[in-house]
Amino acid sequence: MNRETLLRHWRRLVAIGRRLIGVPDYDAYVAHLRLHHPGRPIPDYAEFFAERQQARYRDGGGRCC
């Protein structure tokens, strides 16, 4: 395998691992905001992570849609 193929597989494995332990995908979140909430400001990764952690541990979850 070439380097690009290995890197692509590695990124997929990392994404799967994050989903398994409950860490959401920042890029998917940004895409969701741009598509469904175009007027909402896009947080940086640190803000995103803090908000997701808070949403995960409060009652009712943190889904908007």
Cα 26–chain centre separation: 3
pTM over 0.75: no
Is the predicted pLDDT of residue 45 greater than 80, yes or no?
yes
As given in the structure block, the two tokens for residue 20 are: 């398994």
Is the predicted pLDDT of residue 59 greater than 80, yes or no?
no
- Scanning 2-64, the segments in alpha helix (DSSP H) are 3-21, 26-36, 45-57
CA angle 50-62-26, nearest 5°? Answer: 50
More confident of the two residues 63 and 28: 28
- At what angle are helices 26-36 and 45-57 packed, to 10 degrees? 90
Is the predicted pLDDT of residue 15 greater than 70, yes or no?
yes
**Cα(24)–Cα(53) distance, integer angstroms:** 10
